[in-house]
Amino acid sequence: MSAMRTAALLLCGLLLPSLAVAQVRARPTVAILYFDYTGKNAELEPLRKGLARMLISDLGAAGTFQIVERERLEEVLTELKLGQSPRLDPTSAAKVGKLLGARLLVLGGYFEFSGTLRVDARVVEVETGKVLKSVGLDRKTDEFLGLEQKLAADLAAALTAAVGPAAPQFGEYRHAQRKHHRRSGRVAHPGRERRPYARVHHEQPERAAADP
């Protein structure tokens, strides 16, 4: 019996590292960088960090991907003196991704035109710099929450497609996203509520405001 137990323990010791590696492969590390904004509207400037932080929260809470924490992102950007830069060039973005140990980057930008907010985002492979997927959305500026939620869902689908069949399915993300929004009090269906950007900006300062 003792020999059988020893053999079983040895087998577990051999299998556990393999299971851990498989789990890591199933949940690729994704870094969501601050969005580019070169416009002149001071009220929209905080979305550079605010939008990224909301996406980090939504995609991270779903558990579909291993999302780099915003604190770690801030550390690396500060180290490279990129924290206050209005935009990241491809070389800097690749350097950030490698320091964060990410396999994929989400980066993009936004602008406002005639009361419409346009957001474009792309999924980039850190190792090659290749753009794997791109998504773009536009909404009225006062429909920002609906835009962010739709963007999070579209990015989850894009990331799943970029990673391939090893990643958890997109449907699992949508189920987790609805649970996360119910717990946080945010709207799970973008079309059902329209709230002015000003309310979002003042009610969620930790998410939509830039660091002091």
Summary mean pLDDT of the chain? 75
Query: What pLDDT was estimated at residue 90?
Result: 83
46 or 210, which is more confident?
46
List helix spans (H) across the chain: 2-26, 47-62, 70-79, 90-99, 144-163, 170-184, 197-203, 205-208
pLDDT at 78 > cutoff 90: no
23 falls in which pLDDT band (50, 70, 90)?
Answer: very low
Rounded to whole angstroms, the Cα distance separating 17 from 111 reads 46
pTM over 0.85: no
| 117-152: pLDDT as tens digits | 999 999 999 999 999 999 999 999 989 999 999 999
Let me know the angle formed at the C-alpha of 102 by 87 and 27, rounded to the nearest 5 degrees: 130
Pick from 140, 134, 117: which is nearest to 37 by CA? Answer: 117
- Residues 171-179 have a mean pLDDT of 51
Asked if residue 89 has pLDDT above 90, the reply is no
Q: Check whether 110 has a pLDDT greater than 60.
A: yes
Task: Report pLDDT for 40.
Answer: 87
Q: How many whole angstroms separate alpha carbon 58 and alpha carbon 76?
A: 21
What proportion of the chain, given as a percentage, has pLDDT over 70? 63
**The predicted structure's pLDDT at residue 198:** 41
Work out the pLDDT band at 193, boundaries 50, 70, 90.
very low
